[in-house]
Amino acid sequence: MKAHDGMYIDGEWRPAAGPDTIAVVNPADEQVIAHVPAGTIEDVDAAVRAARAAFPAWAATPPAERAARIGALRDVLVARKDEIAETVTAELGSPLKFSHAVHVGAPIAVAGSYADLAASYAFEEKVGNSTVHLEPVGVVGAITPWNYPLHQIVAKVAPALAAGCTVVLKPAEDTPLVAQLFAEAVHEAGVPAGVFNLVTGLGPVAGQALAGHEGVDLVSFTGSTAVGRQIGATAGAAVKRVALELGGKSANVILPSADLAKAVNVGVANVMSNSGQTCSAWTRMLVHDSQYDEAVALAAEAAAKYGERIGPVVNAKQQERVRGYIEKGVTEGARLVAGGPEAPREQGYFVSPTVFADVRPEMTIAQEEIFGPVLSIMRYEDEADALRIANGTVYGLAGAVWAGDETEAVAFARRLDTGQVDINGGRFNPRAPFGGYKQSGVGRELGSHGLSEYLQTKSLQF
Ligand code: NAD
């Protein structure tokens, strides 16, 4: 695979400050497909300086012109969609069809939504005798994970550019190639030099340097709760804005009046897609006592169908981690009804689509984020019980409710401590705010709520 051996800083590819590199591995066959530079503090510093120098002019650029650049960026992503899909498949392992539909489709939709929003957003409002100006926060340090590598980048960079901020991106070490492609797309779209900068590198080196850099005004991080907590503490100590999109352990609540087969089948598909590496995945399926056995049988059958179709997980460490959770589920007394800890193939970091029944709320697999193709089916007695189980984790990112009647589902959804709920299989909306309650994070991404994260207010009184 094609890879740059430098960093994209101030509108050009520059040699990295240090000699170290990161090997990019295809998780489907374990082959090294490229190397990218492992950024150092010097690279991060150069990128932040470039972003700071570019900030005043970009902040003063009329929103319509910023919108035009984001629109052009969207068009380049569309023009290069095959290359993007192939790159994500090579470095993440996701099946090519899924890469096209989701890994390319979602970021194009999000970039398009911000091209529209930048053009139409009210960056000025009247409040009595005041005019309130919504001004860009400044230089953004964006740190992204590998699970939806381009989507995570676009969900930060597009609103930041729309707001008038400049950006330094540190993408995940497992998926830097699509980040380099994105930098090429930004360049092709005519975004001025220094407005967007890319430093590839390791989290504890380049990521930490970016999060702690005094020239960064806002850190936007998506990743694990453990690292998010650390970044939040660093930002807090520096009195710096921070947005954290963290883990999840979402509940899929199937009320007795629901279409059970549909709810179970969509629920299994939700967990297995992207090999279970979706922070908002509905990894806990809650079923009423009276329908429990039927739901378990349907889920086991549905999961078995994914055996051949599912891609690998991202790397060997993640494969071991997921297998460890499956073993823990067995040890703690959950009943395996599909899959299991054995690797289904000799080569590649594959994990069998796995379904556990008889999962109790206190079990590790019901509490911790597994980030693999593992579904836990849990039993509830009545609605109060279902609500207690659904809300009974430290997370609150997403969820689903199914019922025969939409009003019944909505009434239940309103009592869930979570940031997003799909009602009877509601579709992904790239303009709806996405983010967590509780330890799933701070702040929101996507749509106008996502844009407002990158703005600060100034009131003028008359
Ligand atoms: P991670 O936290 O290890 O890494 C995420 C990013 O942070 C990477 O770019 C990494 O290099 C960087 N990083 C690591 N250590 C750092 C440090 N000390 N300082 C600064 N940066 C550092 O997470 P991961 O394993 O890449 O991703 C999986 C996790 O991300 C899961 O927990 C998942 O739920 C979460 N996630 C959340 C969302 C969301 O929107 N809420 C989306 C995707 C993933």
Which residue puts its alpha carbon closest to atom 22 of ligand 1? 203
pLDDT of residue 251: 98
Q: Is the pLDDT of residue 307 over 90?
A: no
Looking at the structure, do residues 326 and 351 belong to the same domain, yes or no?
A: yes
Q: Is 346 left (phi over 0), alpha (psi -120 to 50) or beta?
A: alpha
Q: Answer yes or no: is 164 within a domain.
A: yes
Enumerate the β-bridge partners of residue 241.
218
With the most atoms of ligand 1 within 8 angstroms of its CB, the residue from 143, 150, 318, 367 to mutate is: 143
Q: What is the mean pLDDT of residues 423-430?
A: 96
Looking at the structure, do residues 297 and 214 belong to the same domain, yes or no?
A: no
Residue of 91, 173, 279, 453 marked catalytic: 279
CB 91 within 8 A of CB 177: yes
Q: Is the pLDDT of residue 422 over 90?
A: yes
Looking at the structure, do residues 259 and 329 belong to the same domain, yes or no?
A: yes
Beta strands in 18-157, from DSSP E residues, in sequence order: 21-26, 31-37, 124-127, 130-136, 139-143
Q: What is the mean pLDDT of residues 409-417?
A: 98
Looking at the structure, do residues 338 and 192 belong to the same domain, yes or no?
A: no
Q: Answer yes or no: is 423 within a domain.
A: yes
pLDDT, tens digit, 9 for 90 and up, residues 232-268: 999 999 999 999 999 999 999 999 999 999 999 999 9
Q: Is the pLDDT of residue 7 over 90?
A: yes
pLDDT, tens digit, 9 for 90 and up, residues 166-185: 999 999 999 999 999 999 99
Q: What is the mean pLDDT of residues 14-34?
A: 98
The total number of structural domains in the chain stands at 2
Task: With cut-offs at 50, 70 and 90, classify the pLDDT of residue 1.
Answer: confident
Looking at the structure, do residues 106 and 233 belong to the same domain, yes or no?
A: yes
What number does the ligand 1 atom closest to the CA of 227 have? 2
Closest Cα to residue 244, out of 231, 257, 255, 262? 231
Looking at the structure, do residues 304 and 445 belong to the same domain, yes or no?
A: no
Q: Is 245 a catalytic residue?
A: yes
d(CA 294, CA 12): 59
CB 254 within 8 A of CB 286: yes
* 277 CB within 6 A, ligand 1: no
Cα 224 to middle of ligand 1, angstroms: 4
Structural domain for 261, as ranges:
251-429
CB 450 within 8 A of CB 160: no
With the most atoms of ligand 1 within 8 angstroms of its CB, the residue from 147, 282, 318 to mutate is: 147
Closest Cα to residue 170, out of 205, 147, 142? 142
Q: Is the pLDDT of residue 308 over 90?
A: no
Q: Is 165 a catalytic residue?
A: no
Q: Is the pLDDT of residue 283 over 90?
A: yes
The overall average pLDDT reported for the chain is: 97
Q: Answer yes or no: is 1 within a domain.
A: no
CA separation, residue 281 to residues 44, 195, 303, 336, 431 (Å): 33, 33, 15, 20, 19
Q: Is the pLDDT of residue 309 over 90?
A: no
What number does the ligand 1 atom closest to the CA of 202 have? 11
Looking at the structure, do residues 241 and 336 belong to the same domain, yes or no?
A: no
Looking at the structure, do residues 56 and 200 belong to the same domain, yes or no?
A: yes
Which residue puts its alpha carbon closest to atom 9 of ligand 1? 172
Cα dihedral across residues 8, 14, 19, 21: positive or negative: positive
pLDDT of residue 366: 98
pLDDT, tens digit, 9 for 90 and up, residues 29-84: 999 999 999 999 999 999 999 999 999 999 999 999 999 999 999 999 999 999 99
With the most atoms of ligand 1 within 8 angstroms of its CB, the residue from 110, 200, 279 to mutate is: 279
Give Cβ neighbours of residue 171 (< 8 Å, ≥ 6 apart): 144, 146, 149, 153, 178, 179, 198, 200
Looking at the structure, do residues 239 and 256 belong to the same domain, yes or no?
A: no
Cα 119 to middle of ligand 1, angstroms: 31
> Which residue in this structure is represented by tokens 């550019």?
161
Cα dihedral across residues 275, 393, 446, 219: positive or negative: negative
pLDDT of residue 316: 97
Looking at the structure, do residues 291 and 379 belong to the same domain, yes or no?
A: yes
Looking at the structure, do residues 71 and 89 belong to the same domain, yes or no?
A: yes
Pairing of strands 196-198, 251-254: unpaired
Looking at the structure, do residues 160 and 282 belong to the same domain, yes or no?
A: no
Q: Answer yes or no: is 292 within a domain.
A: yes
Q: Answer yes or no: is 434 within a domain.
A: no
pLDDT of residue 313: 98
Token pair belonging to 448 = 């106008």
The pTM for the full model equals 0.98
* 174 CB within 6 A, ligand 1: no
Q: What is the mean pLDDT of residues 277-302?
A: 98
pLDDT of residue 45: 98
